Amino acid sequence: MTARILLVFSLFFSVCYQIVAQTEKSVNDIFLREIPAYSPFSFYAIEAESGKVLAETNQLSLTPASTQKLMTTAVALSLLGADFRFETKILMVGKIDAASGALLGDLIISGGGDPAFYSEYFAEHYQGTFEEWADKIAALGIKKINGELLLNMSAYANDPIPGGWIWEDIGNYYGAGVSALTYRDNLYRIYFKTDNVEGNPAVITRIEPQIEGLLLENKVVSSSIERDLSIVYGAPGSYSQQIKGTIPKGRTDFVVKGTIPNPADRVAADFLAVLHRKGIEISRNFKKVCEFSQTDMETVAIKQSPSLSEILVPLNRESINLFAEHLLCEVGRKSSGFATLQAGIDALKVFCEKAEISVKGYFPKDGSGLSRSNAITARTLAETINYMYNSTNRLPFVNSLAAAGRDGTLKNIFKGTPLENNLRGKTGSMERVRSMAGIFRTSAGKQVVFGFVINNSQQTSREINLLLQKALMELYNGV
């Protein structure tokens, strides 16, 4: 009887092994058949609970683009915690003269590196914050500030842009750099009007918000191509910018987004305007302070950000580079006391080592994936997702990912297949780079984690998504 049971189990596992082996061969055949030989790619798939490898190709170290955000998300959740919140503070130094209502000292906005401060993704959360601050100042009996409005920028190093970001990126909204006082996603909008003649100059009708001192040279022309092919050029912090390229013809209100040179200046200007409306005057203007040693300060108000788990949702679903870079700096602060990019990268490497995630071929250079100097294998991506899936941070991690066919960067991918609203994942895309990593449930109810990266392919995004869909469906039906 025992021998018969053993025989049954042996036959069962033999059949299972053959099915998995056949599935892996089918997956590999799809990639080898449909990806040109000159295009390096990497694919890796494992069973979530057991970690068993289901399919893998050569693990090449490739540029991942925005799937790098998965690494930043993982280390941020692990080190900071899902309930972590940034803080922006209003402080004051000096005494209040009760007779005149004058603060005989300075008012201070102390930046805490909050990436979501007045962000369009969290408009309701921050609505009325400046007004609340002004009301609390007034409640102290302050009618006038005899000193300055100081902007404490010491939380972050004065190094907003990671190395490896290219000139064509850093003037555009998606290339906005980090700041101790990031504000309204560190972007501004340029509104254009174009006529119906291709090649005619596009006219700037307005800029919102208006930026005092901005010198924007406009070299944009109209085009029959129905998409934005314009680029904003500008060094970090520079008020001299240039925009050139093409935008669609026949538009009356076409919007292009650029990077605000100094977001802290906008914080000061907008807050001073609120103080003025509330009847609180200040004798001098504002001043940014990068090294801050003042100790005898009184806290007037604190504004906390949404929780980390909430910030991660737009970060991953909409692929917000600015949020990712802030988180990596904050990870650096948590691990070493220094909120720098390098400290964050060092902490990321330590995290991978402790989590036993393969780092062969992993060379992180930023938190968002915008740097072309980033390199990773599909195995590292898949093992990171698997680690988070089996951790106490499973819910906030998976919830931050886009749902196939439903939202975010996966909204139009895998529609009408069993992967729709089943697969949760993150995409990556830049010129000659496509990647995707995620998790889905198979027809047999098993959770499969995968990573995929391809570089230097002449195939369109749609063609790459379709071949990846074929590979994932083999796993869906065969595991």
- Residue 44 near residue 377, CB atoms below 8 Å: yes
The helix (run of H) or strand (run of E) holding residue 68 is helix 68-80
* Positive or negative: CA dihedral 88, 94, 99, 102: negative
* Positive or negative: CA dihedral 202, 203, 206, 207: positive
The pLDDT assigned to 17 comes to 46
The pLDDT assigned to 4 comes to 61
The helix (run of H) or strand (run of E) holding residue 23 is helix 2-34
The helix (run of H) or strand (run of E) holding residue 473 is helix 461-478
126-157 in b/e form (b: 16+ CB < 10 A) is beebbeebbeebeeeebbbbbbbbbbbbbbbb
The span from the CA of 378 to the CA of 380, in Å, is: 5
Half-sphere exposure of 297 (CA within 13 A, CB side): 18
In this predicted model, what pLDDT tens digit does every residue of 282-338 receive, in sequence order? 987 888 887 777 778 999 999 999 999 999 999 999 999 999 999 999 999 999 999
Count of C-beta atoms within a 10 Å radius of residue 120:
10
In this predicted model, what pLDDT tens digit does every residue of 284-293 receive, in sequence order? 788 888 777 7
Count of C-beta atoms within a 10 Å radius of residue 287:
12
The span from the CA of 171 to the CA of 243, in Å, is: 9
> Which residue would you say has higher pLDDT here, 440 or 478?
440
The span from the CA of 325 to the CA of 115, in Å, is: 9
The span from the CA of 434 to the CA of 210, in Å, is: 36
- Residue 273, SS3 per DSSP: helix
For residues 141-153, average pLDDT? 94
In this predicted model, what pLDDT tens digit does every residue of 183-210 receive, in sequence order? 999 999 999 999 999 999 999 999 999 9
Half-sphere exposure of 225 (CA within 13 A, CB side): 9
Question: Residue 7 — very low, low, confident or very high, per pLDDT cuts 50/70/90?
Answer: low
- Residue 192 near residue 251, CB atoms below 8 Å: yes
471 alpha-carbon distance from chain centroid:
28
> Which residue would you say has higher pLDDT here, 440 or 156?
440
The DSSP bridge pattern shows strands 215-223 and 240-248 to be: parallel
Q: What residues does 434 pair with on adjacent strands?
A: 429, 454
Phi and psi torsions of 446, nearest 5°: -95, 145
Evaluate if residue 11 carries a pLDDT over 60. no
